[in-house]
Amino acid sequence: MDVFGAEIQEFFHYLRSVGFSKLLRVFWFFFFFEFFRYVIVDLISLVFIMWDRKRNRNNYEDAKRRMWLELPLVSIVVPGKNEGKHIYKLTTSLKEQTYKNFELIIVDDGSDDDTEIICKSLKKNGLIDYFIRNEVRGGKASGANTALRIARGKYVVHLDADCSYDFDAIENIIIPFYESPDVGAVGGNVMVRNYKESLATTLQSFEYTDAISIGRMVASYLGIYRVVSGAFGAFRMDILQRVQGWDIGPGLDGDITVKFRKLGYKIKFEDRAVCQTNVPNSFRKLTKQRLRWDKSLIRFRLRKHSDVFFPSQNFSLTNFISFIENITYTLVLNIKWYIYASDMIYNFASVLPFIIVMNFFLYTTTNMFKLLVFNIFRERKNTPFSYFVLYVPLMVFYHGYYLRIVRTIAYIKEFFFKQSYKDPWNPEKTSIKALEIGI
Amino acid sequence: MVEDFEKGQIIVDKNVVTYHDLKYFIVELNDKFRPDNLIKYDVLLIDIKEDELVTYVVKQIRTHINPRIYMMPIFLLSTTDFHEVVTTHLTDGILPSINHLDSIEPRALDIKANIERINHPKVLSFESQMINRTLNLMYTRNKKVLNPIPYFHSGIGYYYPELSINFDHRDESGALKILEIAEQEGLFQSEFHERVYCCNNCNGSYLNYREVCPKCNSSDSISQDLVHHFPCAYVGPIEDFKNNIDDQLDCPKCNKTLRHIGVDYDKPSVLYTCNSCHHRFQDYYTKAKCITCGTENDVEHLVPFSIKKYIMTKKGENVAINGYINIEKQLESLEGTVTMAIFKVLLTYEIQRLHTQGYQSNIGYIHVQHAAAVAGVLGLEKQKALMNDLVQMLKSNLNPSDFVSFYNSSTIVFSFVNTKHKEAKEAIEEMKDLSERLLRKSFEKVHIEVRTDVIALKLGGEVESVVNSMVFPLTKM
Ligand SMILES: [Zn+2]
Ligand SMILES: [Zn+2]
Ligand SMILES: [Zn+2]
């Protein structure tokens, strides 16, 4: 303890001696990128968001009133394979909804378990409006597109079968369409249901509450919100038909959002439309999931939708910025971090332990600050923020090392080897064709 | 045959022929047919060409209330076989001409002898009457097996002529219930023949099975194969891919031409669109529409009946001769009633209670007359509902301590405990009045008569004989 105390003293002594400019030199990565983007920008945006909300309260209430007056039909589409075991729970969660004018369409994408039997009996009992079974699997996109053939709603809400929903979730995800005629899609707020299950789920829950939920609020406010979650997203039917539905995934959630943006529609995040989901409960499963997500950045941003970067008649500044921001803060930053690490190892090898400790200290303080301050801006919480306090130090490892390494691996695999086309998430027959035409 | 003539020993007088020891009556087209009058004759000859009229006459005979009439030998005066299958089963043969009476005489005599062997105890319940009629007809024809015959006009598709003739089409499944009782009583042994599924509403078996829209039950719909184009995940009916220029199929989303099923596209599902309500669905519901009553039956809600072949047992033969009376089938317990056994126990206590100074007690009955006829008109289910109504009416007019039971399916017996006989008599008059009004209200088109009586209990009375003596007058109607 004495030894450690001495170390810390020495460390602070070092900090005092180096001065602020030296500090920036050593911790440039933190100050210029992460602190600026994820603390300063977020905080300012959040303040504006709340101020806007107060100022536009009447506007929101008016939108809500108009929605209830019109009572549009909402088609809830749930494509999936072997999801039968979740469907009953899903239907009960939907039965509780304040908004009742919806039709529930389940597409069974070639399940080889009891899904068909379960769904048929639920349909008989009137808990499902439409049940379509594909004997052979076609993938998530084709499942969703099949549902689209049947859907007759003005809005389409895409759900994941293993999620459950706040009783006002459907209502809240539709209201933004009435706030502005430019809104093409609305993303719901996904929270982690099994946050107590394991360390992996707790850390993810922290990530969802902070980086994902707050991140999306800010992105939505700045007009650069990118991914309407497949677990809970609402789309205008007319636009979905214009873009002819979903394209082949993985990452079809992000892809459809881009297609909407390209047509000039706004994408909104609605933190008050809450859905709870179970996240992977081990790091092994989480790694698999994140590899898939991260590969789709390369595949869809850099490859499929690369036209966003070039001036054309559909060129849109916000789309351009959104893409640049996305690529900067994921791909470029990821590369930059390695540059930073090399910089430190090469130029500051002697004080490396101090730098690592200091980075840890900076990030942890920031995370703690965000946890406490951003908590004020969250209208709906499923976890008391105090639950996370103990885990704040671990977030450095989670965000800074674990996720970063997974992301790097994903980028390399996808960039050089186009690995996402081999992902069994899609049936092979569709991946082959997608690769052939390069989407 | 209108003119009188004499030829050998055949004496013809109007429609009556006497030959050897038998008196034949000939029914003709222009006759005013009065089955009641046939009691004087031994054999009926039907000289009518019109199938429907023949069937009508046979039915009048075979469903007649008088055993001598319903068992009467019937022959058709005809040179050809008769086509109507049920009538063929219910008649005893064909007589090519009146000059061939010798050909049918042995059979007529045999039947007549059998008829004379049969005793006819008066039975009250519908079920007993039906069992007796069936056994009587079979026995007198030396018939051991009651075969179900496939019959187009039958409500359940199969017909047991001797029994089913007593039932209206929509009530024919009642015949199966009667046979079930008879089998339980050991009068028949059965062999499985077929299973029929009947309408949940009317028990009819004339069903139209078809695939219908799950929403509106319409069978008018079109089907489309859904095509999934792999490269772009487009899903739509094949029509979406057709173009106006050539036979090629082009994807409306990515403009690529479909080449090879399984390689770049497949057809994972079929979608039906209802032409009536525009509902879109993948799975038809199979529904059975009842042609008789129009009900749309879910296939799993159809009522299954086992159609069996019934073979008369030794006991059955015995009962055919002596009548089926002792075991009157209890109605399924209705609310507020006790079984006959319990009724008798309670009655024993009631008789003992008479020892108390000044204690008086009575029992009475309400009997719906002509149970078989009533059931024939109302149907068994409605008849049961009627009995239930009567029980409820009784319960609300009796004391809470009184007990009610079914003597048989058309007779309700009940007590007037701790009541003076005079008061009980007044009460039962009132009940008769009430029940007749109730029946008139519920069954406007059917004339239903009820009989009632009440007797005072006497010390030392034997329960069995008390009940029987009370109900005895009913057997003499
Ligand atoms: Zn295509
Ligand atoms: Zn329909
Ligand atoms: Zn029917």
Asked if the Cβ–Cβ distance from B269 to A146 is below 8 Å, we say: yes
H/E stretch holding B437 = helix B421-442
Q: What residue ranges in A214-310 does DSSP mark as E strands? A: 232-236, 266-277
The arithmetic mean of pLDDT across residues A145-172, rounded, is 92
CB A235 within 8 A of CB A185: yes
- What are the pLDDT digits (tens) for B210-233? 889 888 888 898 888 889 998 888
Pairing label, strands B265-274, B280-281: antiparallel
The arithmetic mean of pLDDT across residues B357-365, rounded, is 87
Residue B65: pLDDT over 60: yes
Considering only residues B451 and A70, tell me which one the structure prediction assigns the higher pLDDT.
A70
Among candidates A359, A199, A341, A350, which has minimal Cα distance to A281? A199
Q: How many helices (H) and strands (E) in chain B?
A: 13, 23
Supply the mean pLDDT for chain A: 84
**DSSP-assigned letters across all residues of B448-470:** --EEEEEEE--TT--HHHHHHHH
The complex's ipTM?
A: 0.77
B325-476 maps to which CATH number?
3.30.70.270
Considering only residues A395 and B463, tell me which one the structure prediction assigns the higher pLDDT.
A395
The arithmetic mean of pLDDT across residues B170-179, rounded, is 84
Q: What distances in angstroms separate CA B222 from CA A327, B216, B289, one per listed residue?
A: 49, 14, 20
Report which residue type is found at A123: K
Query: What pLDDT does B3 receive?
Result: 39
Q: On the CB side of A111, how many CA atoms lie within 13 Å of its CA?
A: 20
Angle at A108 (CA atoms; ends A107, A112), nearest 5 degrees? 175
> Which chain B residues are closer than 8 Å to A111 by Cβ?
none
- What are the pLDDT digits (tens) for B411-441? 888 988 888 889 889 888 888 888 888 777 7
Q: What distances in angstroms separate CA B193 from CA A128, B68, B197, one per listed residue?
A: 41, 32, 14
Q: Which residue of A has its CA nearest to B298?
A: A124
Query: What pLDDT does B1 receive?
Result: 41
Query: What pLDDT does B327 receive?
Result: 46
Asked if the Cβ–Cβ distance from B256 to A134 is below 8 Å, we say: no
Cα–Cα distance for residue pair A55/A58, rounded to 1 Å: 8
Supply the mean pLDDT for chain B: 84
Q: How far is the alpha carbon of A439 from chain B, nearest alpha carbon, in Å? A: 8
**In terms of CATH architecture, what is B5-117?**
3-Layer(aba) Sandwich (3.40)
Helices A404-417 and A283-296, axial angle in degrees (round to 10): 50
pLDDT-above-70 percentage for chain B: 90
- What are the pLDDT digits (tens) for A102-132? 999 999 988 888 888 888 888 888 889 999 8
Q: Domains, chain A, ranges and CATH? A: 2-46+320-437 (no CATH), 69-290 (3.90.550.10)
Q: How far, in Å, is the centroid of ligand 3 from the Cα of B210? A: 15
Considering only residues B324 and B398, tell me which one the structure prediction assigns the higher pLDDT.
B398
pLDDT-above-70 percentage for chain A: 88
Q: Three-state SS for B265?
A: strand
Provide the sign of the torsion angle of the four alpha carbons A381, A90, A232, A188, taken in this order.
Answer: negative
Q: Which residue of A has its CA nearest to B232?
A: A247
Q: How many helices (H) and strands (E) in chain A?
A: 20, 8
**DSSP-assigned letters across all residues of B196-228:** EEE-TTT----EEEEEE-TTT----EEEEEEEE
Asked if the Cβ–Cβ distance from A439 to B232 is below 8 Å, we say: yes
Among candidates B374, B209, B375, which has minimal Cα distance to B296? B209
Contacts 24+ apart (CB under 8 A), B448-452: B448/B368, B448/B369, B448/B374, B448/B386, B449/B368, B449/B369, B449/B370, B450/B366, B450/B367, B450/B368, B450/B369, B451/B365, B451/B366, B451/B367, B451/B369, B451/B477, B452/B364, B452/B365, B452/B366, B452/B367, B452/B428
> Which chain A residues are closer than 8 Å to B271 by Cβ?
132, 149-150
- What are the pLDDT digits (tens) for B375-419? 666 666 677 777 788 888 888 888 888 888 888 777 888 988 888
Query: What pLDDT does A182 receive?
Result: 93
Q: How far, in Å, is the centroid of ligand 2 from the Cα of B197? A: 25
Asked if the Cβ–Cβ distance from A146 to B228 is below 8 Å, we say: yes
The arithmetic mean of pLDDT across residues A214-233, rounded, is 86
- What are the pLDDT digits (tens) for A410-437? 888 877 777 666 666 677 777 776 766 6
Q: How confident is the model at residue A76 (pLDDT cuts 50, 70, 90)?
A: very high
In angstroms, how far is CA A105 from the centroid of its own chain? 24
Q: Three-state SS for A11?
A: helix
pTM: 0.64
> Which chain A residues are closer than 8 Å to B268 by Cβ?
110, 134-136, 138, 142, 146
Interface of chain B toward chain A, CB-CB under 8 angstroms: 214, 226, 228, 230-237, 252-254, 256, 262-264, 266, 268-269, 271, 280-283
Report which residue type is found at B396: S
Report which residue type is found at A9: Q
Query: What pLDDT does B31 receive?
Result: 61
Q: How far, in Å, is the centroid of ligand 1 from the Cα of B282? A: 23
CB A292 within 8 A of CB A423: yes
Q: How confident is the model at residue B13 (pLDDT cuts 50, 70, 90)?
A: low
Bin A71: left if φ > 0, else alpha if -120 < ψ < 50, else beta.
Answer: left
Query: What pLDDT does B53 receive?
Result: 86
Q: How far is the alpha carbon of B230 from chain A, nearest alpha carbon, in Å? A: 5
Q: How confident is the model at residue A97 (pLDDT cuts 50, 70, 90)?
A: very high
